[in-house]
Amino acid sequence: MKTLRLRADGGARGNPGPAAVGVVIEDDQGEKLRTFHKWLGVATNNQAEYQALIEGLKAMKDWDFDRLDVYMDSKLVVEQVNGKWRVKEPELQGLHRQATELLKQFGDRVTVSHVAREENRRADKLVNMAIDEKVKKPKLPG
């Protein structure tokens, strides 16, 4: 049985503020198979977390696997997509719908679990890299 791991993270500097997502795809031993990051523009932390899940799931469409374990450090997103918490914020409802539609396409082959922030370091690093690339201040001459 082929199991893959998807580690997704989103973040914003300020809330809202400059935001990005980071995604790491690993085999079942934790070996990195693919990483990517994406600049989002201005978003809230929660919007960025949802976008991370959405981008990660989209990336998995062409992968061959029997099981996909998704790990995120956003308790809010994990509990909402697992149906345990309601989505109260109007700006998250469309993103929630998008994420759950993508999850349905994979059926019962996908689980989404909450992990401590330290366990999602690789994805978090990609988020910061994407934001730094966009908001880096130019050096002054002299």
**CATH number of the structural domain spanning residue 40:** 3.30.420.10
Note the pLDDT tens digit of each residue in 77-129. 999 999 999 999 999 999 999 999 999 999 999 999 999 999 999 999 999 99
Domain-located, residue 141: no
* Per-residue pLDDT, 117: 95
Alpha-carbon distance of 125 to 41, in angstroms, equals 17
Residue 140 lies in a domain: no
Q: In this structure, is residue 37 part of a structural domain?
A: yes
Three-state helix/strand/coil letters over the chain: CCEEEEEEEEEECCCCEEEEEEEEEEECCCCEEEEEEEEEEEECHHHHHHHHHHHHHHHHCCCCCCEEEEEECCHHHHHHHCCCCCCCCHHHHHHHHHHHHHHHHHHHHEEEEECCHHHHHHHHHHHHHHHHHHHCCCCCCC
pLDDT in tens, 32-59: 999 999 999 999 999 999 999 999 999 9
Q: Angle at the Cα of 5 (from 13 to 101), degrees rounded to 5?
A: 75
> How many domains would you assign to the chain?
1
pTM for the whole structure: 0.94
The confidence score (pLDDT) of residue 136 equals 78
Domain that holds residue 55: 3-135
Establish if 98 belongs to a structural domain. yes
Q: Which of 20-29, 120-129, 131-140 has the lowest mean pLDDT?
A: 131-140
Given a contact cutoff of 8 angstroms between Cβ atoms, the answer to whether 131 and 39 are in contact is: yes
Length of the chain: 142
Conformation bin of residue 111: beta by default, left when phi > 0, alpha when psi is -120 to 50 = beta
